[in-house]
Homo-oligomer: A and B are copies of this chain.
Amino acid sequence: MGGELPGYRGKALQALKGVSAEIGDLLRVTRDGTAHEGLLIERSEYGDEDHVVLKLRSGYNVGVRITPTTRIERLGSGAKPAFVPPPPPPRRPGLPRVAIVSTGGTIASRVDYRTGGVRPALSAQDLYSVVPELSEVAVVEAEILYSLLSEDIVPAHWAEMAKAVARHIGDGVDGVVVAHGTDTMAYTAAALSFALQGLPCPVVLVGAQRSADRPSSDAATNLTGAVLAAARAPFAEVALAMHETVSDRSIVLHRGTKVRKCHTSRRDAFRSVNATPLARLEDGEVTMLSGDYQRRDPDRRLALKPDFEGRVALVKFHPGLDPGVLQWYVDRDYRGIVLEGTGLGHVGGYCHQAVQGAVEGGVVVAMTSQCLWGRVNMNVYETGIDLLKMGVVPLGDMLPETALVKLMWALGQTGDAEEAKRLLTTDVAHELSPRTTAD
């Protein structure tokens, strides 16, 4: 495992050594009559032994399998000059000020063309060089708060993000963008929606599904859209900006409490559920799609409520769920459990005793639906009525993920379970749509 060929082992390593190839060299690798030309890049330490990986001129990486007939030619040596960013464009006075708080993820990275590795790239100067359009939209102030994969973000990070956003708002910016990995971005969007009340300006979360080194990357369009919305949009709420469709034509701004990632890889992976999106951005213009929103008002006083209780669990019910898991959470001093029940808000009768035990143990137990679309209604069937009678809190059309975040937030605001239930069932940021009831 030569230091000069990091990540390569076995057959691939041997084949590369056979032509004295080094990382960064221009190679032609031919297999089954097809030739690939590109720069040899490092592999991750867990790569297999069968492929060499080239960075093609197109920006794509390609792995070519080494078989007895694969031929490798070394066309040129590495020594690709280090990336030197061009000087930042001149700032235009009078432009809105936008803070970009980076927490990590694909959006906040750029690929090092020599190694294929991913590096954070969010100094303001880096941003201007990578996305020059930004300089026409706003004066950007960039802060790297974290460099985290979003699956590693926990409630304590939400609190720090809320404080960072509040700091920039206190500093007088016209809007804030939070760059975030897409995996848990919707959870964070909900968290900021509850933690930042009475916003004077937009707070826009943004991510990317494809890294900036791929021709299909959505990083630049999403980031430009988010900055533009933060700078100019008329709303003062927490929103999440991503591609509206697979095309680059429009960016949609989802409400932070009504959005979830509904596709693993598409650029338009995020969807508003049980709600119209807040706004659309097309041809540089923001169009409001929702009529009922909080307007931008620089004089509005932000109420920062950043505390989240970590001892809250989301439990998805399924046929055969062991009800003992609920008691396990009670024994661990959990203060809240959000159930992701079936249909209108049910769990099997064999779980009811455990639910009752949790409620009697002082745990706030709330009900959402794994259908995701629609709303729980626990008055229709006996199962729901039984659970209501035990004290389970029905959460209407609130998404399970939003419900988890809100219960963490509610229990972060108060030590009293009844007061937490009151907060949980009071609409704060459009998470709970009113229901029209017949008589």
Chain A: residues with CB nearer than 8 A to chain B? 31, 34, 36, 44, 46, 62-65, 149-155, 158, 182-184, 187-188, 261-266, 269, 310, 312-322, 324-325, 328-329, 332, 340-350, 369-377, 381-383, 385-386, 388-389, 401, 404, 408, 438-439
Question: Shortest beta-carbon distance, A41 to chain B, in Å?
Answer: 15
Q: Report how far A330 CA is from B188 CA in the complex, Å.
A: 31
The answer to whether A320 touches B155 (Cβ under 8 A) is yes
Residues of B within 8 A of A389 (CB): 46
Residues of B within 8 A of A344 (CB): 264-265
Do A383 and B343 contact each other (CB < 8 Å), given the known contacts A265-B374, A265-B377?
A: no
Question: Shortest beta-carbon distance, A364 to chain B, in Å?
Answer: 16
Stoichiometry (number of copies): 2
Q: Report how far A439 CA is from B54 CA in the complex, Å.
A: 12
Do A151 and B408 contact each other (CB < 8 Å), given the known contacts A65-B439, A265-B377?
A: no
Closest to A270 in B: B371
Do A183 and B343 contact each other (CB < 8 Å), given the known contacts A151-B383, A152-B350, A324-B332?
A: yes
The answer to whether A350 touches B154 (Cβ under 8 A) is yes
Residues of B within 8 A of A266 (CB): 373-374
Question: Shortest beta-carbon distance, A370 to chain B, in Å?
Answer: 8
Q: Report how far A404 CA is from B386 CA in the complex, Å.
A: 27
The answer to whether B404 touches A318 (Cβ under 8 A) is yes
The answer to whether B439 touches A154 (Cβ under 8 A) is no
Closest to A60 in B: B438
Residues of B within 8 A of A182 (CB): 343
Question: Shortest beta-carbon distance, A72 to chain B, in Å?
Answer: 15
Q: Report how far A301 CA is from B54 CA in the complex, Å.
A: 50
The listed residue (B310, B312, B375) touching A264 by CB distance below 8 A is: B375
The answer to whether B343 touches A332 (Cβ under 8 A) is no
Closest to A313 in B: B322
The listed residue (B262, B377, B383, B439) touching A149 by CB distance below 8 A is: B383
Do A371 and B263 contact each other (CB < 8 Å), given the known contacts A328-B325, A343-B151, A385-B46?
A: yes
Question: Shortest beta-carbon distance, A412 to chain B, in Å?
Answer: 12
Do A264 and B155 contact each other (CB < 8 Å), given the known contacts A316-B316, A346-B183, A438-B62?
A: no
Residues of B within 8 A of A320 (CB): 154-155, 310, 312, 408
Residues of B within 8 A of A153 (CB): 319, 348
The answer to whether A314 touches B318 (Cβ under 8 A) is yes
The answer to whether B46 touches A346 (Cβ under 8 A) is no
The answer to whether A319 touches B439 (Cβ under 8 A) is no
